Amino acid sequence: MKYLLALDHGTTSSRAVVYDCELNPVASARREFAQYFPKPGWVEHDAMEIWESVVGTGREAVAASGIAATDILAVGITNQRETVVLWDRETGRPVHRAIVWQDRRTEDYLAALRECGKESFIQDRTGLLADPYFSASKLHWMLREIPDGHKRAANGDLAAGTVDSWLIYKLTNGREHVTDVSNASRTMLMNLQTGTWDTEMLSLFDIPEALLPKITPTSSLLGASAAEWFGVPLSITACVGDQQAALFGQLCTSPGMVKCTYGTGCFLLKFLGENIARSHNRLLSTVAWKLGESPIQYALEGSVFMGGAAIQWLRDGLGILRSAPEVNELAGRVQTSGGVILVPAFTGLGAPYWDASARGMLIGMTRGTTSAHIARATLEAIAFQVTDLVTAMDKDSNHPMQLLRVDGGASASDLLMQCQADLCGVQVERPENIETTALGAAMLAGLGAGVWKSAGELHDQPNRMTLFTPAITAKDRRGRLKTWKRAVRRAQHWEQSL
């Protein structure tokens, strides 16, 4: 029997899963890593800790599976996207903490670009909106911050990239500096049409090309890990952004299919195929994947910054939960939020608002409000935000969504999923295995290693689903969405309403 190893590096934890070639998980390991918040709106990770957590969980999962490393056919890497690492090529050590996708420190810089009228140019070239979310402005900031940054970058003394390129660099002991096209499409430096670094975007952000990795297909032979990490060299045959991995893991491989992942943030992606669709409702055009030499496939995406992270805030910020899953018991104690509304704009608002200046708001409390109402309002807030994405996606399309496939840690909540079905007015389908990110990476690695000849062969995998059906009236839905919209407007204009 041969096996596939998925290395799934998320925003808050790294996971590794060993799958057999029928895609049954055999063993897994997981490790959380530190989050750094040096200033309001700033979020950083220690890139060495990222690397150690990935290689550490990889080794633990292989040891727990009891298989010999020689039986691992291939490795697939999937990762938090947009987060940037900058390191010294000579020493292989980071020269700054990684700046995380949630970080807003470059908002003023991007606001200046928007004021100069660059937004439509950026959108046209990259499919993205001029927001601090993406890698380019973060890398620009780092190069200015470190001594002689630009000089060292132009000389080729430094290397940079999204986390996938850092992990492959470390796994191959510095032999490969590559990134796949799905990750590169999130940097704001790649030309969406051609799948290559765009010289005008590089010059707009003043980033020398010598700093950046080579862009490769998502699924193909990307390199081999050095023998010291797993005992033998292992072929790395897939590298893919986490949301695209989940899209593939959910087998959304026919145009029009949609999934939403409820992790730290929430990410709604619709697979488009070979055609790039341009959104008129502030969604993003992005790369889904590129399988070997076949053409690039695209997706439309909407992202919410505070998804499961809002539940973590109840745990860590308010201290009303000991663990995230407890939110369901607490919120379940009440039938409604009792008029309480949470707009979790703690790091601004993502799609479709793209408002970095919005701030979190908890409103509608009375003397009768309890932690249970706040917990319920938090789950509802996640579902309201995803509903905004579904509405935007429907406006961009001639075919309204019929079914929403869901996955990710917070999709384990039945209460949240029922609320989602109610607010969207569409059926919500949850697979038995909600870890579709790792699964997608394993599938893509298997394709890259020739286990399957095409994605079509993967559709035969059995999967049990739970279905959530809308249970409120259209009138009720409209009323609740109207109230939510008004609350969002307040959170956007909070300074004026003080």
What sign results for the dihedral spanned by CA atoms 470, 325, 81, 447? negative
Q: Where are the beta strands (DSSP E) in 140-257?
A: 158-162, 178-180, 190-191, 196-197, 214-216, 219-224, 235-241
Tokens coding 1? 């029997």
CA gap 379, 372 in Å, rounded: 11
Neighbours of 117 (CB within 10 A): 8
Does residue number 193 form part of the binding site for ligand ADP (CB under 6 A)? Answer: no
Residue 81 or 177 having the CB closest to ligand ADP: 81
Range in contact with ligand ADP (rule: CB under 6 A) among 213-221, 321-329, 349-357, 484-492: 321-329
Does residue number 428 form part of the binding site for ligand ADP (CB under 6 A)? Answer: no
Using the rule CB under 6 A, which residue among 76, 408, 440, 448 binds ligand ADP? 408
Longest dimension (CA), the chain: 65
Tokens coding 221? 């032979």
In the complex, the smallest distance separating the C-beta of residue 116 from ligand ADP, rounded to whole angstroms, is 34
Using the rule CB under 6 A, which residue among 6, 309, 345, 349 binds ligand ADP? 309
In the complex, the smallest distance separating the C-beta of residue 429 from ligand ADP, rounded to whole angstroms, is 17
CA gap 252, 473 in Å, rounded: 29
Cβ-based neighbours of 112, under 8 Å, separated by 6 or more = none
Does residue number 106 form part of the binding site for ligand ADP (CB under 6 A)? Answer: no
Using the rule CB under 6 A, which residue among 327, 340, 372, 442 binds ligand ADP? 327
Does residue number 328 form part of the binding site for ligand ADP (CB under 6 A)? Answer: yes
Range in contact with ligand ADP (rule: CB under 6 A) among 164-172, 174-182, 286-294, 405-413: 405-413
Does residue number 325 form part of the binding site for ligand ADP (CB under 6 A)? Answer: yes
Reported as type and span, the H/E element at residue 373 is: helix 371-395
CA distance between the termini of the chain: 65
- Start-end of H helices in 269-347: 308-313, 326-331
Does residue number 35 form part of the binding site for ligand ADP (CB under 6 A)? Answer: no
In the complex, the smallest distance separating the C-beta of residue 410 from ligand ADP, rounded to whole angstroms, is 4
3-state SS, residue 476: helix
476 to 234, 287, 423, 482: CA distances (angstroms): 55, 37, 9, 10
Pairing of strands 341-343, 403-407: unpaired
In the complex, the smallest distance separating the C-beta of residue 437 from ligand ADP, rounded to whole angstroms, is 7
Does residue number 308 form part of the binding site for ligand ADP (CB under 6 A)? Answer: yes
Lay out the site mask for ligand ADP across 258-287 (x = CB under 6 A, - = otherwise): -----xx-----------------------
Does residue number 13 form part of the binding site for ligand ADP (CB under 6 A)? Answer: yes
Binding site residues, ligand ADP, CB under 6 A: 10-13, 263-264, 308-309, 311-312, 324-325, 327-328, 408-410, 412-413
